[in-house]
Structure 1
């Protein structure tokens, strides 16, 4: 999708999470209106985002003046102030915003956000904690969990499949995982097929249940 077709987004709360979301959206070609009550944060992002405003996003009237209903998505990045987080989502819901994303710091916080109108609730600290735990053991190079025991991981090719085509190694039958692709140093990403030969030094992108990916990484059938 080209930049001029990307819908504008509003980000309320410019802490580490909100700031990262806002700057990433800007790099992706979205126009971003960022809102925070802290003048220092607003000043920090002033030259990096389409527009930054010092304002209270939990006030319905303020959101109307900022044109919140003109944005395709609104992301509430407020985390430490639970009351402000909830009131902001409630105000956005009252305005009829139909794509509200909100950061939660706990399960109870997340449930409240959903009840007052958030369409998507994210738990960045919890997810990062899980990701770090899987990376610490050094079997996996990267890891994305989808919260339902399913994950996609990048890992070094296990010794037991090196020199074999994938159809011979029977990854899916033995481990119930799917090798999606292979990255070889100095070469483009390879979309895996049954005939793909695994070489020393290859990195694999694998999908499946988290526990089965762990077993596959160490050759534990």
Structure 2
């Protein structure tokens, strides 16, 4: 199977999200075509992104002239103008772009984007707000929701598992979560956890499981 990790990407919409995304993709070695309909925005980014163009992303002819249909990966990063966002996603679908990501600002917006052909819909503000809420309200150091109510979290080991091999602590049986990695305070580097791993006070652990069980584990319940 071919390695598509550095495939070209077209980013449509250069607000804060789109600009940050385009810059990071370039840093990661991707060829990026960045497009926005605001000439001032394009001019400001001309020295920062290798390929940045001013064009109407809802105009089929303009997108064809830019060769957008030849890209396998496209991101609709337009957020504030929902009509333009939806029309752009639909146009990408009509151009048969096989992998379309789109930013949504509301749940309804996300639903419409999915219905017009976006394969992957993200809600950055909602997802970040949810993540921060979990960090503020619990004992988690970091938190990423994987799917539905499943999450990966970084936390400190509860007192009941400190100083004992994970095998003896029976974390999965008692707490419903799996400790997948540990960062000993002494080394500061994460490594895979095994049944023989002995967490110490001050270490950090990565756990995966249902969100409520992860939070309960972190709280020491």
Report how many residues are paired.
218
Point out where structure 2 has 5 or more consecutive residues left out of the alignment: none
What CA distance in whole angstroms lies between the structure 2 residues aligned with 1:108 and 1:149? Answer: 21
Instruction: Please identify, of 167-176 and 132-141, the stretch whose mean Cα deviation from structure 2 is larger.
Output: 132-141
Instruction: Please identify, of 96-105 and 45-54, the stretch whose mean Cα deviation from structure 2 is larger.
Output: 45-54
User: Displacement, 1:76?
Assistant: 0.2
Q: Deviations over 1:30-54 (max 9, x none)?
A: 0111001122322332222221011
User: Displacement, 1:67?
Assistant: 0.7
Alignment match, 1:21: 21
TM-score of the two chains, using structure 1 as the length reference: 0.94
Alignment match, 1:99: 99
What CA distance in whole angstroms lies between the structure 1 residues aligned with 2:216 and 2:121? Answer: 31
Alignment match, 1:78: 78
User: Displacement, 1:4?
Assistant: 9.5
What CA distance in whole angstroms lies between the structure 1 residues aligned with 2:220 and 2:91? Answer: 52
Contact 1:4-1:29 at 8 Å conserved across structures: no
Matched, 1:66 2:66: yes
Q: Deviations over 1:154-197 (max 9, x none)?
A: 11122221111111111100011000100123343210000001
What CA distance in whole angstroms lies between the structure 1 residues aligned with 2:194 and 2:14? Answer: 44
What CA distance in whole angstroms lies between the structure 1 residues aligned with 2:84 and 2:141? Answer: 37
What CA distance in whole angstroms lies between the structure 2 residues aligned with 1:4 and 1:140? Answer: 34
User: Displacement, 1:99?
Assistant: 0.8
Deviating beyond 6 angstroms after TM superposition, the runs of 4 or more aligned structure 1 residues are: none
Point out where structure 1 has 5 or more consecutive residues left out of the alignment: none
Q: 1:110 to 1:189 in 2, by over 3 A?
A: same
Q: 1:187 to 1:27 in 2, by over 3 A?
A: same
User: Displacement, 1:143?
Assistant: 0.5
Equivalences for 1:27-38 in 2 at 5 Å? 27-38=27-38
